[in-house]
């Protein structure tokens, strides 16, 4: 028997869902027109809500980009007076202006509901003790999960990021059952547990992890599940779309349901900007249809994914998107070949001899751009020299088949690559012309 947080909305018929979407799109456009950005855009394109007859007409609307958010920093996207806003989240502005997302009280409540719906979907209940290892503050993974877990009724442990030994102490002392964690840090935490002589299955009550905020492979998920004896579910969010809760895996672990009563989802070819058919990879474009303070219309997320065709066994009618292929921004172009770091990870994780930590460095050697991949050995050592050489050769061959270029592979000893608690830097670009 499958349980739902909001059965009617989660299993709504496609016809009713699309009707709801259209109504909410109209409301969104009417609200959006009050912001200085959309006022200008709608006038420029001569569009208004009454010109939208069906969801098909969405195509008539122009895209919104991250640059638009930057150019209208800080409050040019606000569709309601600031006095009616109760929270602001801002992304780090490493290049140019940061972006700002505003929330009304209702927006925060809806966001919490989205997250609660996701958590309920993977089996988290009000009897669970939920520890959130995200950074709090401006990073939406902190407060986003906090409010969602509270709405669901969990006992929450806002442990925030870092300090593995303290995290583990909380897990064992409080009997934490669920964790929100970045996948690379989940592996790190498991390693620290084992080093401390803690058996995750015997000494903890952990059963469910929500993992997200950085691209990871299926192999890495399975490794986390094996190391800790838990189930790990992929979550997706982005600060422009509130944060976590936009899409989440159900217990089928086959694609992430994207909540279509909150967002309209499109997948486009990032070059032609035309929609691509289901099953084909393209850029995810989202329209918020249940947000007051800052509606975004056809927002280009830069995330690459595809819609999984077919219905999900869990009974939810909301479309599923595939595991992310990376961000179009993360793409490395080397010798004219497009490469995503996740492709490298997928290959490396297939070798049980290897650990989980790796680093990709691009450099220029004798005017040639080269890729160096350093990867740590796992609990594996050998006296057999040729076995190490064969291993290097085999991995290199698999990488070449996947990437279409031949990287230089370097096996390094366990623990020798930098360990970061938080988002891990996997790619370093030292190329002369980069």
Residues that bind another protein (CB under 8 A): 377, 380-383, 385, 388-389, 392, 410-416
Q: Where are the beta strands (DSSP E) in 35-177?
A: 85-90, 100-104, 129-132, 155-157
Of residues 50 and 385, the one with the C-beta less far from another protein:
385
| Closest CB 353 distance from another protein, rounded Å | 10
* b (16+ CB within 10 A) / e for 222-232: ebbbebbebbb
Three-state DSSP class for residue 397: helix
| Closest CB 396 distance from another protein, rounded Å | 11
| Closest CB 32 distance from another protein, rounded Å | 54
Of residues 329 and 383, the one with the C-beta less far from another protein:
383
Concatenating the DSSP letter of every residue in 269-291 gives -TTT--B--TTS-EEEEEEESS-
Of residues 163 and 413, the one with the C-beta less far from another protein:
413
Nearest-CA neighbor of 193 among 169, 157, 176?
169
The total of other beta-carbon atoms located within 10 Å of residue 234's CB is 22
Q: Which helix (H) or strand (E) element contains residue 257?
A: strand 256-258
Of residues 76 and 378, the one with the C-beta less far from another protein:
378
| Closest CB 301 distance from another protein, rounded Å | 39
| Closest CB 419 distance from another protein, rounded Å | 11
d(CA 265, CA 258): 8
Of residues 281 and 388, the one with the C-beta less far from another protein:
388
| Closest CB 417 distance from another protein, rounded Å | 10
Of residues 19 and 410, the one with the C-beta less far from another protein:
410
| Closest CB 413 distance from another protein, rounded Å | 5
φ, ψ for residue 242 (rounded to 5)? Answer: 80, -60
Of residues 382 and 394, the one with the C-beta less far from another protein:
382
- Residue 122 CB-density burial (10 A; 0-12 exposed, 13-18 middle, 19+ buried): buried
Of residues 91 and 357, the one with the C-beta less far from another protein:
357
Cα distances (angstroms) measured from residue 75 to each of 72, 98, 223, 260? 7, 12, 43, 27
| Closest CB 206 distance from another protein, rounded Å | 24
Place of tokens 């595939």: 322
Of residues 308 and 373, the one with the C-beta less far from another protein:
373
Place of tokens 């009724």: 153
- Residue 433 CB-density burial (10 A; 0-12 exposed, 13-18 middle, 19+ buried): exposed
Cα distances (angstroms) measured from residue 406 to each of 76, 344, 373, 401? 47, 12, 10, 9
| Closest CB 380 distance from another protein, rounded Å | 7
Could you give the count of Cα atoms lying within 13 Å of 220 in the half-sphere of its Cβ? 26
- Residue 18 CB-density burial (10 A; 0-12 exposed, 13-18 middle, 19+ buried): middle
Question: Which residues, including other chains, have CB under 8 Å from residue 284's CB and lie 6 or more apart?
Answer: 265, 266, 267, 301, 303, 304, 305, 321
d(CA 257, CA 121): 10
| Closest CB 356 distance from another protein, rounded Å | 14
Of residues 338 and 394, the one with the C-beta less far from another protein:
394
């Amino acid at each position: 028997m499958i349980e739902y947080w909001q059965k009617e909305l989660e299993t709504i018929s496609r016809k009713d869902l699309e009707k709801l979407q259209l109504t909410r799109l109209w409301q969104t456009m009417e609200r959006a027109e009050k912001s200085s950005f959309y006022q200008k855009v709608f006038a420029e394109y001569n569009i208004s809500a009454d010109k939208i007859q069906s969801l098909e007409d969405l195509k008539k609307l122009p895209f919104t980009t991250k640059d638009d958010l930057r150019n209208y920093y800080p409050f040019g996207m606000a569709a309601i007076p600031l006095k009616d806003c109760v929270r602001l989240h801002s992304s780090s502005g490493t290049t140019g202006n940061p972006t700002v997302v505003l929330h009304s009280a209702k927006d925060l409540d809806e966001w919490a509901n989205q997250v609660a719906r996701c958590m309920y979907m993977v089996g988290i209940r009000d009897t669970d003790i939920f520890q959130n290892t995200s950074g709090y503050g401006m990073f939406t993974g902190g407060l986003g999960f906090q409010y969602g877990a509270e709405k669901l009724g969990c006992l929450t442990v806002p442990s925030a990021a870092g300090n593995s030994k303290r995290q583990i102490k909380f897990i064992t002392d409080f009997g934490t059952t669920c964790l929100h964690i970045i996948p690379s840090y989940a592996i790190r935490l498991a390693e620290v547990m084992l080093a401390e002589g803690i058996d995750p299955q015997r000494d903890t009550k952990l059963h469910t992890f929500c993992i997200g905020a950085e691209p990871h492979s299926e192999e890495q998920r399975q490794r986390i599940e094996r190391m800790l004896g838990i189930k790990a579910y992929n979550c997706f969010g982005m600060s422009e779309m509130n944060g976590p809760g936009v899409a989440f895996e159900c217990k089928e672990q086959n694609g992430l349901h994207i909540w279509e009563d909150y967002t309209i989802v499109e997948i486009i070819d990032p070059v032609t900007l035309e929609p691509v058919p289901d099953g084909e990879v393209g850029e995810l474009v989202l329209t918020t249809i249940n947000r007051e303070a800052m509606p975004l219309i056809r927002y280009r997320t830069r995330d690459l994914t595809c819609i999984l065709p077919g219905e999900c066994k869990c009974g939810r009618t909301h479309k599923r998107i595939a595991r992310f292929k990376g961000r179009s921004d993360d793409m490395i172009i080397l010798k004219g070949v497009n490469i995503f770091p996740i492709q490298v990870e997928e290959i490396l994780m297939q070798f049980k001899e290897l650990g989980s930590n790796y680093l990709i460095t691009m450099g220029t050697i004798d005017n040639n751009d080269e890729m160096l991949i350093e990867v740590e050995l796992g609990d594996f050592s050998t006296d057999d020299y040729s076995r190490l050489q064969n291993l290097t050769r085999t991995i290199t061959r698999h990488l070449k088949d996947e990437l279409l270029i031949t990287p230089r592979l370097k096996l390094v000893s366990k623990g020798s690559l930098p360990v970061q608690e938080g988002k891990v830097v996997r790619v370093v670009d030292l190329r002369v012309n980069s």
